[in-house]
Chain A
């Protein structure tokens, strides 16, 4: 064990050196690090509990997605069967229990109806399953059932779009370095460091921003509308700011133009200095809007956001330029928020905040200070204790621990891992356990010396025998750490990352590196007695 070849020495020292160098950027101020090339910016990210900021967990309702799909399907079926040479009359259409069912009036047309509905379904998943099953029951009723694969697919698609929309919205807010990640099948984690008041963010993310323009049904009787009854082809929608005092309004079901045909939205003011949102339609949207407004001069239309009517202005003249304004009871802030939401597109599914954690920057800074102080004191205390217990070998162990701490930081920087407050606790614990390997080795050397072995042989035996134990002990530790990483959330994960990296690096520094130091000393001095 005393002979380390030149290559072995290089093989031990080089990785340690790289690890230490990677730790350096974490200690440099921001402006210096930004000048470094990207690949050298190996910095440990600070978790929200240290930097301050907000963590939000958003959840989409899968039932919501399923319901929407069914509504779309109903829409498609109606259009398809009404279209073309052979119209198929249907009735009793209902979407209950997550299924869509309807009756074909003329039993002779059932097969033709199925023929025409089938192409509306799509393949889902790899097994050749369709996203909807189409069946005929009681010879005249057609039942369309969404398959699980179909729903999964739809949820997946909706989540991808939702993640993208959220990213756009947060970018528009101008916050720095947000993390937006999908988690599980229907959740999105949003982390925004440095954000002090997440209220605006949550309001923004809580909006689906589904914008529609529909004509107001002026034939409807307001007293019936209050009871939720509307003429055929119309529906009753809430209208909280209705000047007439009735909180609802009846509008035509048919959509004039929807928010999907917007190209831009900005906050502005109208002639009364009231905050509004200016919108601009794309080509086809502008044409449609122009057409409908020309045909309905002097009639009101409703501006509907997320199923609620914002305002119902009168069409004074045809609006042909492809731009319009959305008026409503806005403040400058809420108008600006709506503009951002409209620009980034509508969320395909409504999201609710199921978990929120916000840490003020002051507490974060206090935590860092306290964590650093505690780590420093821990290192000094452990180092002093190791020195009085093992003398020269204690110094080797201390050197190893110091390098270990730097290498852990370096590895975390390379992996882009995040340091959290529990992570700092993980550090302190690693300092404690890393010396355990050295304690095992040194105690074994003491034992072997007592049994009468020579210096060199005792050291050799100490390292070899203790290495096995150290390996086993670390495997068990790693099992616990791995489980924490897999099952833990937030703080537990941050702790597990440091623990796992620490296990890997500490075996190397505490065993291999100290062995190299001990071997060099033995070769140089050839002692006949050791103080250990």
Chain B
């Protein structure tokens, strides 16, 4: 049987040569993402801004105008509506009553339920959330803190494990991934809720994983080919790990694709964020973070100093790189 190979043997793409283009593109995209986030803002869910969210399921696709006027007539504040998943499901968001605490929020839900049942027989509230302003403030703080800690924690880990250049390049690439994810939510105006924070953290974890594999190979090659110049060495390492990078991205995209198509509407935003993260993360691993090492001044000799990890690679006989053209 002929086995599938997505990346042909002896692929040798000059990623390093492209680095100035890649850096420029990355910078541009990052600026656009930050701009979009600043200009359009995120469509924050009730988790983060507080308020009341009701998901109503109708027997037949309702006219949104009708639903809106029903909600407006309640006089409980400015509501916003959104079709969610299938056309029969509508998400209604309302501000939390300023006074009266839990009882008042309850009353609003009851009021909405009665009014909607009268207008649209057979409607059910399949879920509703109420989050007070205080709790939402904490959730937002914890969310931001979690993402920052994860990025910094992982960057510090790769700094201790390798040279500082690896820590910095990983940090830069991960920040880029996170900002791109934020930009994506700003542009699409998909709801940004607690689930999305989990998605962003996963993107961070996954993207790091990708960079770790390439960094590890760079380290290994630095010990193996002490005389090779850094550009060829990084190209060699990225190309050697390319089949794995592509394979893994494809398998994860397959799994996420199943989740996107069949996983139900509640997880859709989450899955979309993750898919984008995988694409962006893979791009930044291949084009940005490894090439950045050169800009940061990493040299092969540096591999000597932290040579604590002996193991097989250090004792291995020097088998030449598979493409001699890569040597200077």
Contacts and interface: CB of A to CB of B under 8 A. Distances in A.
Nearest to A199: B106
A367 interface: yes
A492 B197 contact: yes
A371 B4 contact: no
Interface string A396-422: 000000000000000000000000011
Contact of A378 (B247, B255, B266): B255
A388 B3 contact: yes
Contacts of A432: 248, 251-252, 254-256
A25 interface: no
A258 to B, nearest CB: 25
Contact of A487 (B149, B161, B311): B149
Interface string B195-211: 10110011011101100
B291 interface: no
Interface stretch (A7-15, A92-100, A144-152, A434-442): A434-442
A421 B199 CA distance: 13
User: Which of A359, A432, A451, A461 has the most CB atoms of chain B within a 10 A radius of its CB?
Assistant: A432
Contacts of A477: 205-206, 208-209
Interface string B122-138: 00111111111011000
Interface in B299-328: 309, 311-313, 319, 322
Interface stretch (A16-24, A159-167, A348-356, A520-528): A348-356
Interface stretch (B24-32, B60-68, B180-188, B257-265): B257-265
B142 A487 contact: yes
A251 interface: no
Interface in B249-284: 250-252, 254-259, 261-264, 266-267, 270-271, 274
Interface stretch (B34-42, B74-82, B151-159, B225-233): B151-159
A389 B153 contact: no
B14 interface: no
B244 interface: yes
B103 interface: yes
Contact of A469 (B102, B216, B270, B322): B216
B259 A480 contact: no
B212 interface: yes
A444 B216 CA distance: 13
Interface string A178-202: 0000000000000000000001001
A532 B197 CA distance: 38
A354 B134 contact: yes
A483 B150 contact: yes
Given A483-B153, A489-B139, A476 B4 contact: no
A377 interface: yes
B180 to A, nearest CB: 17
A468 B216 contact: yes
B105 interface: yes
A342 interface: no
Given A481-B205, A483-B149, A490-B194, A49 B128 contact: no
Nearest to A184: B138
B97 interface: no
Interface residues of B, number: 83
Given A359-B126, A377-B258, A469-B213, A370 B263 contact: yes
B157 A475 contact: yes
A443 interface: yes
B127 A465 contact: no
Nearest to A487: B146
B251 A425 contact: no
B296 interface: no
Given A357-B129, A479-B150, A386 B102 contact: no
Given A352-B101, A439-B244, A472-B216, A480 B132 contact: no
Contact of A374 (B124, B220, B263): B263
Interface of B is mostly: helix
Contacts, number: 256
B145 interface: yes
B240 interface: yes
Contact of B244 (A357, A443, A495): A443
A431 B257 CA distance: 13
A480 B312 CA distance: 29
Contacts of B103: 202-203, 206
Given A374-B258, A378-B254, A472-B161, A439 B126 contact: no
A496 B198 CA distance: 8
A233 B243 CA distance: 87
Given A57-B135, A378-B255, A495-B198, A425 B271 contact: yes
Contacts of A491: 194-195, 198
Interface residues of A, number: 83
A488 B198 contact: yes
A429 B202 contact: yes
A451 to B, nearest CB: 5
A114 interface: no
Contacts of A381: 254-255, 257-258
Contact of A358 (B124, B127, B243): B127
B122 to A, nearest CB: 13
A422 B255 CA distance: 14
A495 B139 CA distance: 16
A385 B243 contact: no
Contacts of A373: 262-263
Nearest to A373: B262
Nearest to A470: B213
Contacts of A390: 3
A479 B255 contact: no
Nearest to B270: A425
A439 B263 contact: no
B73 interface: no
A346 interface: no
Given A199-B106, A476-B212, A483-B146, A356 B129 contact: yes
Nearest to B101: A352
B127 A357 contact: yes
Contacts of A495: 195, 198, 202
A473 B154 CA distance: 10
B237 to A, nearest CB: 12
A429 B255 contact: yes
Contacts of B110: 199
A356 B105 contact: yes
A531 interface: yes
A489 B47 CA distance: 11
User: Which of B3, B102, B250 has the most CB atoms of chain A within a 10 A radius of its CB?
Assistant: B102
Nearest to A474: B209
A446 interface: yes
A202 B129 CA distance: 14
B9 interface: yes
B124 to A, nearest CB: 7
A433 interface: yes
Nearest to A386: B251
A353 B263 contact: no
B244 A440 contact: yes
B127 A359 contact: yes
B92 to A, nearest CB: 14
A385 B271 contact: no
B322 A450 contact: yes
Contact of A421 (B143, B209, B247, B266): B266
Contact of B4 (A388, A479, A489): A388
Given A374-B261, A476-B157, 6 more contacts: A369-B264, A377-B258, A432-B248, A435-B248, A439-B244, A468-B216
Closest 3 CB pairs of A and B: A370-B264, A353-B102, A480-B205
16 contacts: A57-B135, A353-B102, A359-B126, A362-B124, A371-B263, A429-B274, A432-B256, A436-B244, A439-B251, A447-B322, A473-B209, A476-B157, A477-B209, A483-B153, A484-B146, A492-B195
